[in-house]
Amino acid sequence: MEYSKIRTRFAPSPTGYMHVGNLRTALYAYLISKHEDGDFILRIEDTDQERYVEGAVDIINNTLKATGLIHDEGPDLGGDYGPYVQSERKGIYLQYAKELVDKGEAYYCFCDKDRLENLRKDLESKNETFRYDKHCLHLSKEEIQENIEKGIPYVIRQNNPVEGTTSFEDVIYGHISVDNSELEDMILIKSDGLPTYNFANVVDDHLMKITHVVRGSEYLSSSPKYNRLYDAFGWEVPVYVHCPPIMKDAHNKLSKRNGDASFQDLVAKGYLKEAVLNYIALLGWNPGGNEEIFSLEDLVKIFDYKNINKSPAIFDSQKLKWMNGEYIKRLPLDTFHDLALPYYEGILPKEMDSKKVSELMQTRVEVLSEIPEKIGFFAELPEYSIEIFLHKKMKTTIENSLENLTKILPALEALEPWNSDTISGLISEFVSKEGIKNGQIMWPIRSALSGLQSSPGGYLELADILGKDESISRIKIAINNLQSHL
């Protein structure tokens, strides 16, 4: 089918944080539209007022803005098809629901909670799935009007057939057919006058001229009911793109309810928003080839929704961490330094050149939150085991480490000025004069300065950052410790 213009929508419920799955839906909808120079619409689906969370709309807007998924129409921008908040469209849904009633495709239902609960219990006792029994379908117009005038609460239900089948096509999952006997007469308008999600999204997608509907595969089972609504109205069915679930592991879905990270959590943990978006794009979609690092602009150019995989996607934290590290390495140093500064506060001494620390750390962290643990030794020499001086490849022992540190200490104390060039020159002279391997002095100095088995950077960077006084002090401590182990 040819479309004059592709129009997709992201229609979240304002119920809290932006989950990874929601963000992927927004991303795929954005990419589908922008790949064809189409429109991307933001619609807020707030018909379930009991789940509404104050401030959640701001989270949605801020997340889309932060990730670059800029919508063309929405509550904040307006557009030709507003309002873009469902609670502001209440009268629209009731009008269309009554149209279905007039066509016999929907009906008023006055059953109270007690009757519905008794029906549920009765079906459960027979091991049958709960479905409304069409009890109110055959009420006369007079009975309906009388009940309404009495103020009896009611809902409007869809009137689905009990025989035959309903079929539809999904881009990802192909041809799907469902027996109509499995279709429940779902509620279209609730007793508070607001529509259910299932009804409102169909009406809104049609009125907003949405051509491609992107959503999670959990909505596959509801799609036949949606299609029957489209058919009842005589409307064209949009292209369905149902995305595979994102799994925590082989058996469990990724879920905020289970403590899994939201977009906000990941950013707070030190992941770059660009890296998160890049990684999420690959959860269920493969561009082909070996390249995995893509900017949003790259994704717009290459994204083909027909390559979305129907198999569940596993959220691999280690893969995300690796990707984030790649993004960090590619940042301009000044940008990384600005991002790292908050992690230095309260740890690095104020007199220390933090820019030099950033030069050292940029290629050595995968997540910004790793920084405090990795730089703690700059602030205070950790308690260490003497084994850190032992290195088979460098041919260092306690004895030769002690000997070489003791010999070079006076030269280091006399060294002026203290910088990378002068320290390097001094070490070269010492190695030549003593006839030793480079590692036999470089490794003991590195160990003395860091107090770690593995440190970010070698002896030269550490000595330069720590400065002369602190470096000399730490080497003296190392000499004393080595002497105590002989």
Q: What is the DSSP string of 5-73?
A: S-EEEE----SSS-BHHHHHHHHHHHHHHHHTT-EEEE-B----GGG--TTHHHHHHHHHHHHT---SB
Task: Catalytic residue, from 190, 248, 256, 269: name it.
Answer: 256
The domain segmentation of the chain, as residue ranges, is 1-75+244-327, 90-189, 333-376, 386-484
What is the C-alpha separation between 433 and 450, in angstroms, rounded? Answer: 26
Instruction: Provide the pLDDT for residue 225.
Output: 94
Q: Is 476 an annotated catalytic residue?
A: no
Alpha helices in 292-393 (DSSP H): 296-302, 317-330, 333-344, 354-361, 371-379
Cis preceding linkage at 83, omega within 30: yes
Q: β-strand 239-243 against 212-216: which pairing, if any?
A: parallel
Annotated binding-site positions: 109, 111, 136, 138, 256
* pLDDT tens column, 448-480: 999 999 999 999 999 999 999 999 999 999 999
Cis preceding linkage at 382, omega within 30: no
Q: Which residues of the chain have pLDDT under 70?
A: 1-3, 256-260
Quote the pTM value. 0.91
Q: β-strand 7-10 against 39-42: which pairing, if any?
A: parallel
Instruction: Provide the pLDDT for residue 21.
Output: 92
Closest listed residue to residue 402, CA positions, set 463, 477, 460 = 477
* pLDDT tens column, 178-198: 999 999 999 999 999 889 989
> CATH code for 386-484?
1.10.10.350
Instruction: Provide the pLDDT for residue 257.
Output: 65
Percent of the chain at pLDDT above 90? 87
What is the C-alpha separation between 105 and 345, in angstroms, rounded? Answer: 65
Instruction: Provide the pLDDT for residue 1.
Output: 56
Instruction: Provide the pLDDT for residue 258.
Output: 63
Instruction: Provide the pLDDT for residue 259.
Output: 61
> CATH code for 1-75+244-327?
3.40.50.620
Tell me which architecture the domain covering 90-189 has in CATH. Alpha-Beta Complex (3.90)
Annotated binding-site positions for Zn(2+): 109, 111, 136, 138
At 479, the amino acid letter reads I
Instruction: Provide the pLDDT for residue 2.
Output: 61
What is the C-alpha separation between 239 and 3, in angstroms, rounded? Answer: 11
How does DSSP classify residue 184?
-
Other Cβ atoms less than 10 A from the Cβ of 276: the count is 22
Contact 258, 252 (CB under 8 A): yes
Annotated binding-site positions for ATP: 256
Contact 223, 176 (CB under 8 A): yes
Closest listed residue to residue 7, CA positions, set 212, 252, 284, 295 = 212
